[in-house]
Amino acid sequence: MRSFLAGLLLAGLLLPIVTAPAGAQTPPPDSARVSDYAEDALDDLERSAGDAEQLAGRLTALAEHPLDVNAASAGELARVPAFSPFAARNVVRERVRRNGYDRLADLRAAEGVTAAVLAQARPYLTAGPTGSANGRFPETPSLGDITDGMEFDVMQRYTRRLDLGDGYEARPVPQPDGDTARVAPFLGRPGRLYTRLRARYERRVSLALTFDKDPGERFTWDPDTGTYGYDHVSGHVAIHDFGRLETLVAGDFTAEFGQGTLLWSSMTFGKGRNPVRSIARSSGGLDPYGSTEENRFFRGLGATVRLTSRLDASAFFSRRTLDATRARPDTSLPGFGPDASARVTTLAESGLHRTAGELAKKDALGETLGGGALAFSGDSFRIGAAGYHARFDAPLRPDTARLFRRFDFRGDRATAASVYAQVFAGSDYHFFGEAARTPGGAVGGVGGATATFSRFAEATVLARHYPRDFHSLHGYSFGERSGAPQNETGFYAGLRLEPARRWTLKGYFDLYRFPWVRFAVGRPSSGYEARLIAEHAPRDWLNWYVQLRSETRESGADLLDAAGRPLDGLIEETRQSARLHVDYRFSERLRLRSRIEGARYVERGPQFSDNDFGAQRGADYGVILYQDVRFKPFDGLRLDARLAFFDTDSYGARVYAYENDLLYSFAVPAYSGTGRRFYLLARWAPTDRITLEAKYGATRFRGVETIGSGYGEIDGPRRREVRAQVRFQF
């Protein structure tokens, strides 16, 4: 099987090269709505953190409303893909020196903006009139300008799996009256419904409502459970850059300051194919929220005011409910009377309310939070401080009998604060960091530096330390551990070189340790990861790269001592992969992408030998090859298709691959087992105001009778899904 796949893939990789037309035309650089950089970043989401759908939506919105390089601040530019804080600062400095940019190509004059960087950032930028950044504060638009320039956007999405899991199968359930009824565990229908209503004026005024019902959730009106048709409703009203008022948002919003150690909500690129420029973060402060992730946002009021041209202050207040598991204390114990209040044992983060058990956790805990931040900017530095105080309407009391919960946050109040800074030393060095003190007194943080050795070489290093009792309830800083930073120490180093024209070498090494036990890992553990990428673009229409990746980490294992008693042990897991990816653009209307990736998974530990603690189990292997085709038969219609073949010995040898999906959405499935996958995505814009999309995907496995497990178990070897979306703009 693997030899057949390898031969087929090799033919697919070589075909675009050997059949390259001599007169292939270079597509216009501004034709892409979302750059390949974003797709490359989403391709690594199996290890990325935060709300990826929010990031995908943010990038798409940025492509539709590009930043004006003659008016944007360094902070705004630093949030553009491929732009580091160092490059963004130099763009602003060069803009002042030359009194504006006449065209985007002029950005090459700024230190740190190479041809490759500009190509990746171009879809998100525009060059407005020079001199548009003059003045200490932005001008306030008139009401007439806002109403005349307001754009409206209505989006409706429906998705559904055609092969349903066990959760939709009815089964006998005893009723209170003694009878038995056939009831399915999932209370709702299998389709997912998503509706978004939005109005905006340029990048300065935004009004939005977002409605979402996940598969299996009920579509009903039930105020007792906080369900009003859709299970999740989000909305906001926000304004930006009105004189001294930088941001004012009412409703749902995110707060992101410093490096995310204390406050961060959305996903960041993190470790990936851009190992230098994506590490230092550029905080966005207060931003309106409109995604479907149901936990990582605030609900209330927030504002950022420019006190002077260098000093800005933020304040925010939030009152919202969280999903949680509440348990009544044992009233027979001393100190617990019959009126003792419930305690919260765990916070639920899935956002799913399909079963009676999941529905019982919905909105079970209230949180009231107030906070703020103060930041001062100079010509070559920015320093700031942030903090918040939160109060819960029931105490959090995790089950400390489970060792990995022993140092989790306990109590009904939390106060935390941080200080952060970034400093530019000359034109070659950028230092950044943040330190935070969390409830209980634990201090942790991150610190790093980026150095530019020439126009074509740069490196970054970052160290982080989050103690085991570090309780950053709303943080999401750099780290190997997914979720809020806790129980991790590590060091990261990344390098990016352009040794020759059209060649790029990139790589990183990350060493980390978890000083306390984790879920399913009964001892302190450690690991390391390395990645090396060589990328070459011999022509404007041809790009290929090779990627080598290896990660070794310790995981939990059940062992027996000499007397046969169980022990919490460790095994060493190593995952290695090699990838060859070719991207070829025949023309503006036809694009091919081919990939082959092989994976190897090995476990080492004492259970594999009676006397050798370094013995290993036989290695598992996996391989995937796919061919993507993007075809635009005529203006307004785009077709994306993929045919993928995969063969893996185990889930440990799984391979991830990003898929094109509906606008403002994403998919990064894991390929495991043996089989093939096909999807077809059609996007048709019959007019400038209407966009219709539909996607059909099917995965067929070989040699299996069921797919998945639990309520998601499907009878048969096939899994199919349909997705459709309509968007109106006026």
Residue 4 — very low, low, confident or very high, per pLDDT cuts 50/70/90? very low
Q: In which residue are the tokens 């509906």 written?
A: 662
What Cα–Cα distance (Å) separates residue 243 from each residue in 139, 207, 294, 636?
5, 20, 33, 39
Q: Determine the average pLDDT of the residues in 545-551.
A: 96
Cα 56 to Cα 267: distance, rounded to the nearest angstrom: 9
Q: Determine the average pLDDT of the residues in 97-119.
A: 85
Q: pLDDT tens for residues 436-466?
A: 999 989 999 999 999 988 778 899 999 999 9
Residue 17 — very low, low, confident or very high, per pLDDT cuts 50/70/90? very low
Instruction: Give domain status of residue 287, yes or no.
Output: yes
Residue 332: predicted pLDDT: 54
Q: pLDDT tens for residues 197-248?
A: 999 988 889 999 999 999 999 988 877 766 778 999 999 999 998 889 999 9
Q: How many domains does the chain have?
A: 2
Residue 511: predicted pLDDT: 97
Cα 511 to Cα 366: distance, rounded to the nearest angstrom: 38
Question: What average pLDDT does the chain have?
Answer: 85
Q: Determine the average pLDDT of the residues in 623-637.
A: 95
pLDDT surpassing 50 at residue 12: no
For 239, other C-beta atoms within 10 Å of its C-beta total: 21
Kindly report which listed range (252-261, 508-517, 568-577) carries the lowest average pLDDT score. 568-577
pTM attached to this predicted model: 0.88
Which token pair is 153? 């956007």
Instruction: Give domain status of residue 575, yes or no.
Output: no
Closest CA to 472 of 252, 253, 264, 255: 264
Which token pair is 173? 């359930």
Cα 580 to Cα 593: distance, rounded to the nearest angstrom: 11
pLDDT surpassing 90 at residue 487: yes
Q: Answer with the one of 456, 488, 520 that is the final residue of a domain.
A: 488
Cα 460 to Cα 477: distance, rounded to the nearest angstrom: 16
Instruction: Give domain status of residue 708, yes or no.
Output: no
Burial class (CB within 10 angstroms; exposed 0-12, middle 13-18, buried 19+) of 349? middle
pLDDT top residue among 176 and 338: 176
Cα 374 to Cα 436: distance, rounded to the nearest angstrom: 15
By the 8 A CB rule, do 537 and 543 touch? yes
466 shares its domain with 333: yes
pLDDT surpassing 60 at residue 495: yes
Q: Find the farthest-apart pair of alpha carbons in the chain and give their distance in angstroms, rounded.
A: 85
Residue 666 — very low, low, confident or very high, per pLDDT cuts 50/70/90? confident
Cα 118 to Cα 441: distance, rounded to the nearest angstrom: 44
Instruction: Give domain status of residue 566, yes or no.
Output: no
Q: pLDDT tens for residues 580-608?
A: 999 999 898 999 999 999 999 999 876 65
Cα 400 to Cα 405: distance, rounded to the nearest angstrom: 5
β-pairing, 343-347 vs 324-327, is antiparallel
Residue 173 — very low, low, confident or very high, per pLDDT cuts 50/70/90? confident
Q: Answer with the one of 454, 471, 488 that is the final residue of a domain.
A: 488
Instruction: Give domain status of residue 718, yes or no.
Output: no
The DSSP string of 599-627 is EEEEEE-GGG-SS-TT-BPPPEEEEEEEE
For 686, other C-beta atoms within 10 Å of its C-beta total: 10
Q: Answer with the one of 438, 462, 488 that is the final residue of a domain.
A: 488
Instruction: Give domain status of residue 100, yes or no.
Output: yes
pLDDT surpassing 50 at residue 22: no
Instruction: Name residue 703's beta-bridge partners.
Output: none
Residue 64: predicted pLDDT: 79
Closest CA to 246 of 303, 284, 309: 303
CATH number at residue 64: 1.10.150.320
Cα 413 to Cα 409: distance, rounded to the nearest angstrom: 10
- List b or e across 26-49, with b for residues whose CB sees 16 or more CB atoms inside 10 angstroms: ebeeeebebbbbbbbbbbbbeebb
Q: Determine the average pLDDT of the residues in 484-508.
A: 93
pLDDT surpassing 80 at residue 645: yes
Residue 726 — very low, low, confident or very high, per pLDDT cuts 50/70/90? very high
Q: Residue 443: which domain range?
A: 243-488
Closest CA to 264 of 124, 38, 420: 420
Cα 289 to Cα 294: distance, rounded to the nearest angstrom: 11
Cα 452 to Cα 84: distance, rounded to the nearest angstrom: 11
pLDDT surpassing 80 at residue 116: no
What Cα–Cα distance (Å) separates residue 217 from each residue in 190, 214, 262?
8, 6, 33
Q: pLDDT tens for residues 348-400?
A: 888 899 998 998 899 889 999 999 999 999 888 999 999 999 999 999 998 88
Instruction: Give domain status of residue 140, yes or no.
Output: no
Instruction: Give domain status of residue 57, yes or no.
Output: yes
Residue 644 — very low, low, confident or very high, per pLDDT cuts 50/70/90? very high
Q: pLDDT tens for residues 250-278?
A: 999 999 999 999 999 876 777 878 888 88
125 shares its domain with 259: no
Which token pair is 485? 């930073």
